[in-house]
Amino acid sequence: APILAQVKRVVCHLSSPAAMPHSFGYRARTRDLFSKAYKTKGRPMLGRYLVNFHVGDYVDIKADPSVQSGMPHKFYHGRTGIVFNVTKSAVGVEVTKVVGNRQLRKRIHVRVEHVRKSRCNELFLKRVKENDALQHAAKATGEVVCVKRIPPGPRPGKMIKADQAAVKVLAPIKYVFVPESEK
């Protein structure tokens, strides 16, 4: 009888939903996050290694699952940061992380396979060049030019004239009660 009770206890313990172990590993819940798309599996191409990174560049962190070394934590996947250090095979990236009610500036080193140049400030740099050219031309002619971005105001009003004969007034038809006997 005592052996049967022990067996019952073991069976109940294994069949209960709480029997699954906790899994809070470093790469927990990254089954889809760290997987490559169809026909893109395998090692990265050579062009990924030939990109030159400089201090101050904006970079996007996108972990490449085919290269496990130098891979960032899953939190940083998809984040944009600024390069603060460049080494032989890695770059140091400063990323903003919100913790509680404050913003921390985290500094992490990531291998170049997991980093690509960001296009987040392309329009800003283009606008800076255009503004510099405008100011240079204005200075040569001696006039003042405003390079501030001005939001578009309301569109101008207009009057619409219509042929009175072509205008049709839409109105509901008056309800007329018809008893069942007359139908």
pLDDT in tens, the chain (183 residues): 666 655 555 555 555 566 778 889 999 999 999 999 999 999 999 999 999 999 999 999 999 999 999 999 999 999 999 999 999 999 999 999 999 999 999 999 999 999 999 999 999 999 999 999 999 999 999 999 999 999 999 999 999 888 888 888 899 989 999 888 877
The span from the CA of 91 to the CA of 72, in Å, is 11
Task: Name 144's Cβ contacts closer than 8 Å, sequence gap at least 6.
Answer: 138
Cα(122)–Cα(55) distance, integer angstroms: 17
Spatial separation of the C-alpha atoms in residues 145 and 132, rounded to whole Å? 11
pLDDT computed for residue 22 by the predictor: 83
Which pLDDT belongs to residue 6?
59
pLDDT confidence of residue 93: 98
* Angstrom distance (rounded) from CA 162 to CA 165: 9
Two tokens, residue 85: 């250090």
